[in-house]
Chains A and B, each alone.
Chain A
Amino acid sequence: MSAELQSYLILIVVGFLPSEIWRWLGIVLGRGLDEQSEIILWVRGVATALVAAVVARIILIPPGALAGVPLSVRIAALAIGFLAFLFIRRSAFAGVLAGEAALIAGALAFGS
Protein backbone atom coordinates (compact mmCIF):
# COMPACT_ATOMS: atom_id res chain seq x y z
CA MET A 1 0.00 0.00 0.00
CA SER A 2 1.35 3.43 -0.94
CA ALA A 3 2.22 5.86 1.85
CA GLU A 4 -0.33 8.36 0.50
CA LEU A 5 -3.15 5.81 0.55
CA GLN A 6 -2.10 4.70 4.01
CA SER A 7 -2.28 8.26 5.35
CA TYR A 8 -5.89 8.55 4.12
CA LEU A 9 -6.77 5.21 5.70
CA ILE A 10 -5.33 6.45 9.02
CA LEU A 11 -7.34 9.67 8.67
CA ILE A 12 -10.55 7.65 8.46
CA VAL A 13 -9.82 4.91 11.00
CA VAL A 14 -7.79 6.89 13.57
CA GLY A 15 -9.13 10.43 12.98
CA PHE A 16 -12.69 10.32 11.68
CA LEU A 17 -14.38 7.25 13.22
CA PRO A 18 -13.21 7.64 16.87
CA SER A 19 -14.42 11.26 16.83
CA GLU A 20 -17.62 10.86 14.77
CA ILE A 21 -18.88 7.99 16.92
CA TRP A 22 -19.90 10.52 19.63
CA ARG A 23 -22.08 12.43 17.18
CA TRP A 24 -23.82 9.21 16.08
CA LEU A 25 -24.27 8.09 19.68
CA GLY A 26 -25.79 11.52 20.39
CA ILE A 27 -28.50 10.88 17.76
CA VAL A 28 -29.31 7.51 19.34
CA LEU A 29 -29.50 8.87 22.89
CA GLY A 30 -31.15 12.19 22.05
CA ARG A 31 -34.00 10.84 19.89
CA GLY A 32 -36.28 9.73 22.70
CA LEU A 33 -35.93 12.88 24.81
CA ASP A 34 -38.42 15.70 25.12
CA GLU A 35 -37.30 19.31 24.64
CA GLN A 36 -38.89 20.34 27.95
CA SER A 37 -37.77 17.33 30.02
CA GLU A 38 -35.66 17.51 33.16
CA ILE A 39 -33.01 15.20 31.70
CA ILE A 40 -32.39 17.68 28.86
CA LEU A 41 -31.58 20.33 31.46
CA TRP A 42 -29.06 17.95 33.03
CA VAL A 43 -27.56 17.19 29.59
CA ARG A 44 -27.18 20.93 28.94
CA GLY A 45 -25.31 21.19 32.23
CA VAL A 46 -23.03 18.31 31.26
CA ALA A 47 -22.40 19.77 27.79
CA THR A 48 -21.53 23.20 29.22
CA ALA A 49 -19.24 21.78 31.92
CA LEU A 50 -17.53 19.61 29.31
CA VAL A 51 -16.89 22.55 26.98
CA ALA A 52 -15.42 24.41 29.99
CA ALA A 53 -13.21 21.39 30.70
CA VAL A 54 -11.95 21.47 27.09
CA VAL A 55 -11.07 25.17 27.60
CA ALA A 56 -9.15 24.40 30.80
CA ARG A 57 -7.35 21.43 29.26
CA ILE A 58 -6.11 23.30 26.16
CA ILE A 59 -4.82 26.13 28.40
CA LEU A 60 -3.11 23.83 30.95
CA ILE A 61 -1.95 20.95 28.74
CA PRO A 62 -1.81 22.48 25.25
CA PRO A 63 -1.09 20.43 22.17
CA GLY A 64 1.41 21.63 19.56
CA ALA A 65 2.67 25.20 19.21
CA LEU A 66 0.74 26.71 22.14
CA ALA A 67 2.91 24.69 24.53
CA GLY A 68 5.78 27.07 23.65
CA VAL A 69 4.01 29.99 25.37
CA PRO A 70 4.54 30.09 29.17
CA LEU A 71 1.66 28.76 31.31
CA SER A 72 1.28 32.06 33.18
CA VAL A 73 0.84 33.92 29.87
CA ARG A 74 -1.78 31.40 28.67
CA ILE A 75 -3.81 31.73 31.89
CA ALA A 76 -3.50 35.54 32.01
CA ALA A 77 -4.56 35.85 28.35
CA LEU A 78 -7.66 33.70 28.99
CA ALA A 79 -8.56 35.85 32.03
CA ILE A 80 -8.01 39.11 30.13
CA GLY A 81 -10.15 37.86 27.24
CA PHE A 82 -12.94 36.88 29.63
CA LEU A 83 -12.84 40.24 31.43
CA ALA A 84 -12.96 42.06 28.09
CA PHE A 85 -16.01 39.97 27.18
CA LEU A 86 -17.73 40.89 30.48
CA PHE A 87 -17.01 44.61 30.24
CA ILE A 88 -17.40 45.18 26.49
CA ARG A 89 -21.13 44.55 25.99
CA ARG A 90 -20.78 40.79 26.57
CA SER A 91 -19.30 40.53 23.08
CA ALA A 92 -17.61 37.19 22.37
CA PHE A 93 -15.67 38.90 19.58
CA ALA A 94 -14.25 41.53 21.95
CA GLY A 95 -13.19 38.75 24.32
CA VAL A 96 -11.47 36.79 21.55
CA LEU A 97 -9.58 39.86 20.25
CA ALA A 98 -8.47 40.99 23.73
CA GLY A 99 -7.39 37.47 24.68
CA GLU A 100 -5.40 37.04 21.47
CA ALA A 101 -3.74 40.46 21.88
CA ALA A 102 -2.78 39.55 25.46
CA LEU A 103 -1.40 36.17 24.39
CA ILE A 104 0.75 37.64 21.62
CA ALA A 105 1.98 40.53 23.80
CA GLY A 106 2.76 38.13 26.66
CA ALA A 107 4.58 35.68 24.42
CA LEU A 108 6.70 38.47 22.93
CA ALA A 109 7.47 39.95 26.36
CA PHE A 110 8.11 36.76 28.30
CA GLY A 111 9.45 34.47 25.60
CA SER A 112 7.71 31.74 23.68
Chain B
Amino acid sequence: MADAPLPPPGTTTDAFLFGLRTAATSVFAFVIIFTYIGFGAMCHDYGLSVGWAMLSTVLQWAGPAQVILVTGLGPGTALIETAVAVSLSSVRFLPIVVALIPLVRRENARPWHLMLPVHFMAVSVWVEAMRHAPNMPREQRIPFCNGVGLALLSLGTIFTAVGYYMQAVLPALFGAAAMFITPISFLTSTARNARLLLEKAALALGLTIGPMLAYSQVQFDLLWTGVIGGTLAYGLHRVHRSRSAKA
Protein backbone atom coordinates (compact mmCIF):
# COMPACT_ATOMS: atom_id res chain seq x y z
CA MET B 1 0.00 0.00 0.00
CA ALA B 2 1.34 3.38 -0.98
CA ASP B 3 2.15 5.88 1.69
CA ALA B 4 -0.28 8.71 2.16
CA PRO B 5 0.88 11.63 0.02
CA LEU B 6 2.90 14.07 2.05
CA PRO B 7 2.71 17.71 1.14
CA PRO B 8 5.89 18.69 -0.71
CA PRO B 9 8.22 20.90 1.29
CA GLY B 10 7.41 24.56 0.96
CA THR B 11 3.62 24.20 0.86
CA THR B 12 1.29 26.38 2.87
CA THR B 13 0.80 23.43 5.28
CA ASP B 14 4.54 23.39 5.93
CA ALA B 15 4.46 27.12 6.58
CA PHE B 16 1.55 26.69 9.02
CA LEU B 17 3.36 23.87 10.84
CA PHE B 18 6.54 25.93 10.94
CA GLY B 19 4.42 28.68 12.54
CA LEU B 20 3.19 26.26 15.22
CA ARG B 21 6.78 25.14 15.94
CA THR B 22 8.03 28.72 16.01
CA ALA B 23 5.36 29.60 18.57
CA ALA B 24 6.13 26.55 20.72
CA THR B 25 9.84 27.40 20.96
CA SER B 26 9.31 31.17 21.29
CA VAL B 27 9.75 33.06 24.55
CA PHE B 28 6.11 34.02 24.04
CA ALA B 29 4.87 30.48 24.71
CA PHE B 30 6.18 30.93 28.26
CA VAL B 31 4.97 34.53 28.43
CA ILE B 32 1.43 33.69 27.27
CA ILE B 33 1.10 30.72 29.66
CA PHE B 34 2.20 32.84 32.62
CA THR B 35 0.08 35.86 31.61
CA TYR B 36 -3.12 33.88 31.15
CA ILE B 37 -2.75 31.82 34.32
CA GLY B 38 -2.71 35.22 36.01
CA PHE B 39 -5.69 36.45 34.01
CA GLY B 40 -7.73 33.29 34.69
CA ALA B 41 -7.05 33.55 38.42
CA MET B 42 -8.03 37.22 38.34
CA CYS B 43 -11.36 36.39 36.66
CA HIS B 44 -12.03 33.88 39.46
CA ASP B 45 -11.30 36.62 42.03
CA TYR B 46 -13.81 38.91 40.34
CA GLY B 47 -16.53 36.24 40.32
CA LEU B 48 -16.69 35.76 36.56
CA SER B 49 -17.36 32.36 34.99
CA VAL B 50 -14.62 30.24 33.43
CA GLY B 51 -16.42 30.35 30.08
CA TRP B 52 -16.46 34.14 30.17
CA ALA B 53 -12.75 34.26 31.01
CA MET B 54 -11.85 31.92 28.12
CA LEU B 55 -14.08 33.79 25.66
CA SER B 56 -12.40 37.03 26.70
CA THR B 57 -9.04 35.55 25.69
CA VAL B 58 -10.39 34.19 22.38
CA LEU B 59 -12.19 37.41 21.40
CA GLN B 60 -10.00 40.16 22.87
CA TRP B 61 -6.56 38.52 22.68
CA ALA B 62 -5.06 41.63 24.26
CA GLY B 63 -3.70 41.17 27.80
CA PRO B 64 -3.83 44.78 29.02
CA ALA B 65 -7.32 45.35 27.56
CA GLN B 66 -8.58 42.17 29.26
CA VAL B 67 -7.26 43.29 32.65
CA ILE B 68 -8.84 46.74 32.18
CA LEU B 69 -12.18 45.18 31.23
CA VAL B 70 -12.29 42.90 34.27
CA THR B 71 -11.21 45.57 36.76
CA GLY B 72 -13.69 48.02 35.19
CA LEU B 73 -16.66 45.69 35.54
CA GLY B 74 -17.20 46.42 39.22
CA PRO B 75 -19.73 48.95 40.45
CA GLY B 76 -18.65 52.59 40.27
CA THR B 77 -17.13 52.58 36.80
CA ALA B 78 -19.33 53.60 33.88
CA LEU B 79 -19.26 51.08 31.03
CA ILE B 80 -18.47 53.80 28.52
CA GLU B 81 -15.36 54.80 30.51
CA THR B 82 -14.25 51.17 30.54
CA ALA B 83 -14.86 50.87 26.79
CA VAL B 84 -12.74 53.96 26.13
CA ALA B 85 -9.94 52.70 28.41
CA VAL B 86 -10.02 49.27 26.70
CA SER B 87 -9.86 50.91 23.29
CA LEU B 88 -6.99 53.27 24.16
CA SER B 89 -4.95 50.42 25.62
CA SER B 90 -5.24 48.54 22.29
CA VAL B 91 -4.17 51.36 19.96
CA ARG B 92 -0.88 49.51 19.37
CA PHE B 93 -2.75 47.06 17.10
CA LEU B 94 -3.26 49.78 14.48
CA PRO B 95 0.41 50.43 13.56
CA ILE B 96 1.47 46.79 14.02
CA VAL B 97 -1.25 45.62 11.61
CA VAL B 98 -0.50 48.43 9.13
CA ALA B 99 3.19 47.44 9.23
CA LEU B 100 2.32 43.75 8.79
CA ILE B 101 -0.22 43.90 5.94
CA PRO B 102 2.17 44.92 3.10
CA LEU B 103 4.47 42.10 4.22
CA VAL B 104 1.83 39.32 4.00
CA ARG B 105 -0.72 40.63 1.49
CA ARG B 106 -1.24 38.85 -1.84
CA GLU B 107 -2.44 40.65 -4.93
CA ASN B 108 -5.68 38.73 -5.45
CA ALA B 109 -6.69 38.51 -1.79
CA ARG B 110 -9.95 40.01 -0.54
CA PRO B 111 -9.80 42.15 2.60
CA TRP B 112 -11.90 39.71 4.66
CA HIS B 113 -9.30 36.98 4.02
CA LEU B 114 -7.12 39.04 6.31
CA MET B 115 -9.59 39.27 9.19
CA LEU B 116 -8.63 35.98 10.84
CA PRO B 117 -4.83 36.37 10.64
CA VAL B 118 -5.25 39.96 11.80
CA HIS B 119 -7.36 38.87 14.77
CA PHE B 120 -4.43 36.69 15.90
CA MET B 121 -2.16 39.73 15.67
CA ALA B 122 -0.69 40.83 18.97
CA VAL B 123 2.78 42.07 19.89
CA SER B 124 3.86 38.44 20.41
CA VAL B 125 2.74 37.23 16.96
CA TRP B 126 3.93 40.45 15.31
CA VAL B 127 7.44 40.06 16.72
CA GLU B 128 7.69 36.50 15.33
CA ALA B 129 6.15 37.56 11.98
CA MET B 130 8.55 40.47 11.48
CA ARG B 131 11.43 38.18 12.40
CA HIS B 132 10.67 35.24 10.08
CA ALA B 133 8.17 36.28 7.37
CA PRO B 134 10.55 38.49 5.32
CA ASN B 135 12.70 35.38 4.63
CA MET B 136 9.74 33.28 3.41
CA PRO B 137 8.02 33.18 0.02
CA ARG B 138 5.06 35.55 0.03
CA GLU B 139 2.38 32.82 -0.27
CA GLN B 140 3.69 31.17 2.93
CA ARG B 141 3.58 34.26 5.13
CA ILE B 142 -0.11 34.24 6.03
CA PRO B 143 -0.19 30.50 6.85
CA PHE B 144 2.95 31.02 8.95
CA CYS B 145 1.33 33.89 10.89
CA ASN B 146 -1.83 31.80 11.33
CA GLY B 147 0.26 28.97 12.78
CA VAL B 148 2.00 31.25 15.30
CA GLY B 149 -1.25 33.03 16.17
CA LEU B 150 -3.38 29.91 16.53
CA ALA B 151 -0.77 28.19 18.70
CA LEU B 152 -0.38 31.14 21.08
CA LEU B 153 -4.11 31.94 21.21
CA SER B 154 -4.88 28.29 22.00
CA LEU B 155 -2.24 28.24 24.74
CA GLY B 156 -3.67 31.48 26.13
CA THR B 157 -7.22 30.10 26.17
CA ILE B 158 -6.27 26.78 27.77
CA PHE B 159 -4.16 28.44 30.45
CA THR B 160 -6.92 30.96 31.20
CA ALA B 161 -8.94 27.94 32.38
CA VAL B 162 -5.94 26.43 34.18
CA GLY B 163 -5.35 29.69 36.06
CA TYR B 164 -9.05 30.00 36.86
CA TYR B 165 -9.06 26.65 38.66
CA MET B 166 -5.59 27.17 40.21
CA GLN B 167 -6.61 30.49 41.75
CA ALA B 168 -6.75 29.15 45.31
CA VAL B 169 -3.28 27.58 45.22
CA LEU B 170 -1.34 30.38 43.52
CA PRO B 171 1.13 32.31 45.72
CA ALA B 172 0.14 35.88 46.64
CA LEU B 173 2.76 37.43 44.38
CA PHE B 174 1.69 35.46 41.31
CA GLY B 175 -0.74 38.09 40.05
CA ALA B 176 1.86 40.86 40.13
CA ALA B 177 4.51 38.64 38.52
CA ALA B 178 2.09 37.60 35.74
CA MET B 179 1.28 41.23 34.99
CA PHE B 180 4.97 42.19 34.93
CA ILE B 181 5.73 39.63 32.21
CA THR B 182 3.94 41.74 29.57
CA PRO B 183 6.23 44.81 29.80
CA ILE B 184 9.47 42.86 30.25
CA SER B 185 8.74 40.54 27.30
CA PHE B 186 7.57 43.42 25.04
CA LEU B 187 10.76 45.31 25.86
CA THR B 188 13.28 42.51 25.33
CA SER B 189 11.62 41.02 22.24
CA THR B 190 11.23 44.34 20.42
CA ALA B 191 14.82 45.22 21.39
CA ARG B 192 15.95 41.87 19.95
CA ASN B 193 14.11 42.63 16.69
CA ALA B 194 15.43 46.20 16.49
CA ARG B 195 18.13 46.01 13.81
CA LEU B 196 17.77 49.43 12.21
CA LEU B 197 18.65 52.69 13.92
CA LEU B 198 14.98 53.55 13.24
CA GLU B 199 13.72 50.83 15.59
CA LYS B 200 16.35 51.37 18.29
CA ALA B 201 15.61 55.09 18.36
CA ALA B 202 11.84 54.49 18.40
CA LEU B 203 12.22 52.14 21.37
CA ALA B 204 14.34 54.61 23.34
CA LEU B 205 12.07 57.55 22.46
CA GLY B 206 8.93 55.62 23.39
CA LEU B 207 10.41 54.75 26.79
CA THR B 208 11.29 58.42 27.39
CA ILE B 209 8.28 60.26 25.96
CA GLY B 210 5.73 57.71 27.23
CA PRO B 211 6.30 58.41 30.95
CA MET B 212 6.40 62.19 30.38
CA LEU B 213 3.02 62.19 28.65
CA ALA B 214 1.47 59.64 31.01
CA TYR B 215 2.54 61.62 34.10
CA SER B 216 1.35 64.92 32.59
CA GLN B 217 -2.00 63.15 32.16
CA VAL B 218 -2.10 63.99 28.47
CA GLN B 219 -5.12 62.38 26.87
CA PHE B 220 -4.31 59.58 24.39
CA ASP B 221 -0.75 59.45 25.80
CA LEU B 222 0.02 56.08 24.15
CA LEU B 223 -1.10 57.28 20.73
CA TRP B 224 0.85 60.55 20.99
CA THR B 225 3.97 58.77 22.19
CA GLY B 226 3.76 56.46 19.18
CA VAL B 227 3.31 59.28 16.69
CA ILE B 228 5.90 61.65 18.19
CA GLY B 229 8.48 58.96 19.00
CA GLY B 230 7.98 57.20 15.66
CA THR B 231 8.25 60.44 13.67
CA LEU B 232 11.42 61.55 15.48
CA ALA B 233 12.93 58.09 14.98
CA TYR B 234 12.05 58.18 11.29
CA GLY B 235 13.66 61.65 11.02
CA LEU B 236 16.86 60.33 12.64
CA HIS B 237 16.81 57.41 10.22
CA ARG B 238 16.58 59.81 7.24
CA VAL B 239 19.47 61.95 8.51
CA HIS B 240 21.60 58.86 9.19
CA ARG B 241 20.82 57.42 5.76
CA SER B 242 21.71 60.58 3.83
CA ARG B 243 24.96 60.90 5.80
CA SER B 244 25.97 57.30 5.09
CA ALA B 245 25.06 57.80 1.42
CA LYS B 246 27.42 60.78 1.22
CA ALA B 247 30.23 59.09 3.11
Q: Is B17 at the interface (CB under 8 A from chain A)? A: no
Which chain A residues have a beta carbon within 8 Å of chain B's beta carbons? 4, 7-8, 10-16, 18-31, 33-35, 37, 40-66, 68-69, 74, 77-78, 81-82, 85, 90-93, 95-96, 99-100, 103-104, 107-108, 112
A53 and B111 form a contact (CB under 8 A): no
B64, B111, B182: the one within 8 Å of A27 (CB): B111
A14 and B99 form a contact (CB under 8 A): no
Q: Is B12 at the interface (CB under 8 A from chain A)? A: no
Residues of B within 8 A of A107 (CB): 173, 176
A49 and B67 form a contact (CB under 8 A): no
A11, A50, A52, A112: the one within 8 Å of B95 (CB): A50
If the complex has contacts A8-B52, A22-B97, A65-B175, are A51 and B198 also in contact, measured as CB distance less than 8 A? Answer: no
B190 and A52 form a contact (CB under 8 A): yes
A22, A53, A112: the one within 8 Å of B209 (CB): A53
A30 and B180 form a contact (CB under 8 A): no
B68, B99, B222: the one within 8 Å of A53 (CB): B222
A48 and B194 form a contact (CB under 8 A): yes
The size of the chain B interface, using a CB distance under 8 A, is 101
Q: Which of B83-91, B150-158, B160-168 is found at the contact surface with chain A?
A: B83-91
If the complex has contacts A18-B87, A64-B179, are A26 and B94 also in contact, measured as CB distance less than 8 A? Answer: yes
A58 and B229 form a contact (CB under 8 A): no
Residues of A within 8 A of B181 (CB): 96, 100
Bound Cα distance A10, B124 (Å): 26
User: What is the minimal beta-carbon distance from B205 to any residue of chain A, in angstroms?
Assistant: 6
A60 and B185 form a contact (CB under 8 A): no
A52 and B205 form a contact (CB under 8 A): yes
Residues of B within 8 A of A66 (CB): 175-176, 179-180
Q: Is B237 at the interface (CB under 8 A from chain A)? A: yes
Q: Is B145 at the interface (CB under 8 A from chain A)? A: no
A49 and B209 form a contact (CB under 8 A): yes
Residues of B within 8 A of A56 (CB): 183, 206-207, 210-211, 214
Q: Is B136 at the interface (CB under 8 A from chain A)? A: no
B187 and A62 form a contact (CB under 8 A): no
A15, A27, A44, A50: the one within 8 Å of B92 (CB): A50
A77 and B180 form a contact (CB under 8 A): yes
Interface centre among B73, B97, B237 (most CB of A within 10 A): B97
User: What is the minimal beta-carbon distance from B75 to any residue of chain A, in angstroms?
Assistant: 13
A11 and B64 form a contact (CB under 8 A): no
B102 and A34 form a contact (CB under 8 A): yes
If the complex has contacts A45-B198, A45-B237, A50-B226, are A96 and B30 also in contact, measured as CB distance less than 8 A? Answer: yes
B173, B184, B215: the one within 8 Å of A78 (CB): B184
